[in-house]
Amino acid sequence: MGEFELIERYFKRPARQAAVGIGDDCAVWTPRPGHQLAFSADMLVEGRHFLSTVSPRSLGHKALAVNLSDLAASGATPRAFLLSLSLPRADEDWLSDFSQGLLALADAHCCELIGGDTTRGPLNIAITVMGEIPHGQAILRSTAQTGDDIYVSGHLGDARLALEVFRGHLSVPQAVFDLARARLETPIPRMSLGTSLRGLATAMADVSDGLLGDLGHILKASGVGAQLNLPALSQLMLTRQAWDCPRECWLRCVLTGGDDYELVFTAPPALQHAVEAATLGSGTPITRIGRITSDSGLILMDDNGNVVRPAFSSFDHFA
């Protein structure tokens, strides 16, 4: 099967919102009046970002999910994406499952595949997403204010738990592993929450490299610090309800786990009810985990008001 037949069979569908879709030298897009375009790119490399044991369907889902998560973190509505694929061979079963996982998530968010590139080589999936935001309403990392509450959506740490089990560092009951594995392999990008926080959140980021690292980006960009509440963090891991995870384990997973694809955001205490209403409307649970401080740095407080200093930093590709 040649490159063009492959694209035609697995990825090309009639253009919907695009002025020009797959098949020409460039895709062409007409933005809606009064909107700005938001772009983000994320690449998945085998062995680095996913294990060879993952199903192609989950991989297709995750490749787009991690990109959509960046749009959510800016408050953008997804519109279109480009798919650049490097494949060792044209395996029809693999391509069929991969494209189904990818396009099912794309359809769920009306995000149209408008082009890309296909080449032979080591398995590597690079996606560029484009979204729209009403003019001037993008939610940045650099605008958190002293005194803001800090919230996080959904659950943290479970994806890391699954990874530790895959690596043979840990063993957990099967039901716990199944739950954690689903969080690792098929993350749910928080699109609806992201857009509902426009005009409410002062700053936002998605949690892809661990809470400490990604909240750290907000703190650095905004020139502020944070005080986090340990009892609130202890509620964040989904699998903790089904398994007695040791404290050292859940604390590390929640703070530095990575691959969570949740949203961490800040908002003034006066907007707490509006924030809660927005999250109810989006069907996404949130937890208030702390407060922005004028002193730089990040402090963790335990149940007794004592400062805790965890002896680990967030996962970093270049560490």
Residues near ligand ADP (CB under 6 A) are 7, 11, 22-25, 83, 85, 113, 115-118
Task: Name which of Mg ion, ligand ADP, none residue 244 binds, using a CB cut-off of 5 to 8 Å depending on partner kind.
Answer: none
Q: Compute the distance between CA of residue 52 and CA of residue 157 in angstroms, rounded to an integer.
A: 22
Strand order in the sheet with 77-87: 35-45, 124-134, 77-87, 112-120
* Shorter beta-carbon distance to Mg ion: residue 92 or 117: 117
* Shorter beta-carbon distance to Mg ion: residue 82 or 211: 82
Give the side-chain half-sphere CA count within 13 A for 280. 6
* Shorter beta-carbon distance to Mg ion: residue 73 or 83: 83
117 binds Mg ion (CB under 5 A): yes
23 binds Mg ion (CB under 5 A): no
Task: Name which of Mg ion, ligand ADP, none residue 147 binds, using a CB cut-off of 5 to 8 Å depending on partner kind.
Answer: none
- Which residue, 218, 204, 207, 208, is CA-closest to 293? 218
* Shorter beta-carbon distance to Mg ion: residue 24 or 244: 24
* Shorter beta-carbon distance to Mg ion: residue 91 or 117: 117
Task: Name which of Mg ion, ligand ADP, none residue 134 binds, using a CB cut-off of 5 to 8 Å depending on partner kind.
Answer: none
Contact by Cβ (8 Å): 218, 264: yes
* Shorter beta-carbon distance to Mg ion: residue 23 or 297: 23
Task: Name which of ligand ADP, Mg ion, none residue 24 binds, using a CB cut-off of 5 to 8 Å depending on partner kind.
Answer: ligand ADP
Q: Compute the distance between CA of residue 211 and CA of residue 156 in angstroms, rounded to an integer.
A: 8
Counting other chains too, the contacts that 311-316 makes at CB distance below 8 Å and 24 or more residues apart are 312/252, 312/255, 312/256, 313/212, 313/213, 313/256, 314/209, 314/210, 314/211, 314/212, 314/213, 314/214, 314/216, 314/255, 314/256, 314/258, 315/209, 315/210, 315/213, 315/256, 315/257, 315/258, 316/209, 316/213
**Cα torsion for 208, 209, 213, 219, to the nearest 10°?**
-20
User: What is the closest distance, in whole angstroms, from the C-beta atom of residue 98 to ligand ADP in the complex?
Assistant: 10
Task: Name which of ligand ADP, Mg ion, none residue 126 binds, using a CB cut-off of 5 to 8 Å depending on partner kind.
Answer: none
Q: Compute the distance between CA of residue 264 and CA of residue 193 in angstroms, rounded to an integer.
A: 11
User: What is the closest distance, in whole angstroms, from the C-beta atom of residue 83 to ligand ADP in the complex?
Assistant: 4
Per CB under 5 A, the segment of 52-60, 78-86, 111-119, 130-138 that binds Mg ion is: 111-119
Task: Name which of ligand ADP, Mg ion, none residue 7 binds, using a CB cut-off of 5 to 8 Å depending on partner kind.
Answer: ligand ADP
User: What is the closest distance, in whole angstroms, from the C-beta atom of residue 95 to Mg ion in the complex?
Assistant: 18
* Shorter beta-carbon distance to ligand ADP: residue 118 or 192: 118
Residues forming contacts to Mg ion in the complex (CB under 5 A) are 117
